[in-house]
Amino acid sequence: MLIKNATLITASESFMADILVEGEKISQIGQNLQVENADILDATSKLILPGGVDPHVHLDLPMFGTVSSDDHYTGTKAAAFGGTTTIIDFVSFDSPTLRESVDKWRVKAEKAAVDYSAHMNLTRFDEKIAAEIPSLREMGITTLKVFTAYNDRLRLSDGDIFRALRIERDNGMLVMLHAENGDVIDQLITDALNTDHWQPEWHARTRPAWGAVEATLRACALAAQADAPIYIVHLNAAGEVDMLRYARERGVQVMGETCPQYLFFTEDELRRPDGAKWICSPPMRTVADNQRLWEGLADGTIQTIGTDHCPFFYDGTKPIMYEGKEITIPGKELGKDDFTKIPNGLPGVGDRLAVLWTTGVGSGKLTANQFVALTSTNPAKIFGLYPRKGALLPGADADIVIWDPQKKVKYGVAHSHQRTDYNLYEGWELVGYPEKVFLRGKLIVDGEKWLGKARMGEFLPR
């Protein structure tokens, strides 16, 4: 296939060129390419972006007696419709060994429709586990997520995080950290429930920004003392951006990710009658935090935008239609009388690129090149997928998005293909939208037409 007359947008430049795709790879990029017998795709007035790389999604994740409502097929199909052709999920450490947990996840993930990898949730730690960590590399997994919150469930002690960082350093791996203060959160939740505060807004009130800021600095300090790099997931508070700068100015190798929800919404959303739709951890903060995160993206303090896609139905007692069948999955209504029982997480994997194009590039907050860097190239580089992914280069996988920068869409649940009953961006007027999406040279999305299928995605060993 020869794509003619397009404007290519990479992480560093924008230029007119033709792209030749042979099999699954980009084979040439150049001016006025002439190739006999090639199928020609004229992309005049369109942009070409490398397929999005979402470094943070939770598919088929058990939580609070239910499960996140997109599995590895439906979530990756939604990703594809939004222009994302690679996702990185998380392996729950739910078996006796890391290997058994990975093997179990591999079976669930096989139905993916786009390419995929996983981070390992390191939610227990002892000498045996420490000894097993390096073997994750042979399973293609080089990243470990640790938590400073969710006491007695997912959290590791500071000492164990420090030990994990040293193992990471010695084995060319990377620790990712969820930064909140689990001890303070537990006390505030007890106080709230004891005083009959059960409404969704108490989710944010019991998880203060100071906890996120303090835990981010603590993570940077642990990384500095272990002489290891670290990646902070889902940055949500202005002070976290300041801590990243503080640590980096002192030589700490810290990288950071934020998510669209932290750029647009605030804790006020939780006071709406349907506030449970916005429950995720960490919670959304204030307008000042939104602004500081945008600045952090524009000035290079923050490296990536993932989604933390972890959808639940708003009303899981009512079915929705999905691929012609009714489906019902218990969701946010589980916590209608108690905010601590509302499953934590939001839909977003399909929304990310179109929403950020309009609000970031369209508004002038980000350049088109920064947009590509943040949503594709940087995650591919940080997580060991570049230049196979995140690149428009000869030899890269032909994961190509033909982007129509003029297309206007009144966005919402009807467009997003995420398997849930609501969308955070309902009614938003978007300008700029994916028109065609190719996964390794195969057309999988053509406008509103789905041409992909389950199991088309390949596991990406990193």
Which position among 9, 50, 57, 58 is part of the footprint of ligand URP (CB under 6 A)?
58
Stretch that binds Zn ion, among 16-24, 80-88, 174-182, 412-420 (CB under 5 A): 174-182
Residue with smallest beta-carbon separation from ligand URP: 344
Strands 320-322 and 304-305: unpaired
Q: Is 143 in the site for ligand URP (CB under 6 A)?
A: no
Nearest approach in angstroms of CB 58 to ligand URP is 5
DSSP tag of 39: P
Of the two residues 308 and 351, which places its CB atom closer to Zn ion in the complex?
Answer: 308
The footprint of ligand URP on residues 164-203 (CB under 6 A) is 178
> 3-class DSSP state for residue 215?
helix
Asked if 424 interacts with ligand URP (CB under 6 A), we say no
Query: Is 234 within 8 Å of 262 (Cβ atoms)?
Result: yes
d(Cα 290, Cα 276) in Å, to the nearest integer? 20
- Binds 60: which of Zn ion, ligand URP, none (CB < 5-8 Å by kind): none
Q: Which DSSP symbol is given to 51?
A: P
Rounded-to-integer distance, Cα 40 and Cα 456, Å: 24
Q: Looking at 54, 289, 308, 399, which residue binds Zn ion (CB under 5 A)?
A: 308
Closest CB to ligand URP among 285 and 440? 285
Long-range contacts made by residues 359-363, C-beta under 8 angstroms, separation at least 24?
359/263, 359/264, 360/294, 360/297, 361/432, 362/431, 362/432
The residue among 312 and 438 lying less far from Zn ion, judged by its C-beta, is 312
Minimum CB distance to ligand URP smaller for 236 or for 359 = 236
- What is d(CA 262, CA 235) in angstroms, rounded to the nearest whole number? 8
Of Zn ion, ligand URP, none, which one sits near residue 112, judging by CB under 5 to 8 A according to partner kind?
Answer: none
Q: Which is nearer to ligand URP, 262 or 371 (CB)?
A: 262
Q: Please choose, out of 206-214, 222-230, 300-308, 395-403, the segment that lies near Zn ion by the rule CB under 5 A.
A: 300-308
Determine the Cα angle at 114 with ends 113 and 118, to 5°.
Answer: 110
CA 161 centroid distance within chain: 22
Cβ neighbors of 22 (< 8 A, separation 6 or more) are 441
21, 226, 280, 305: which one binds ligand URP (CB under 6 A): 280
Binding interface with ligand URP (CB under 6 A): 58, 178, 280-281, 308, 310, 344-345
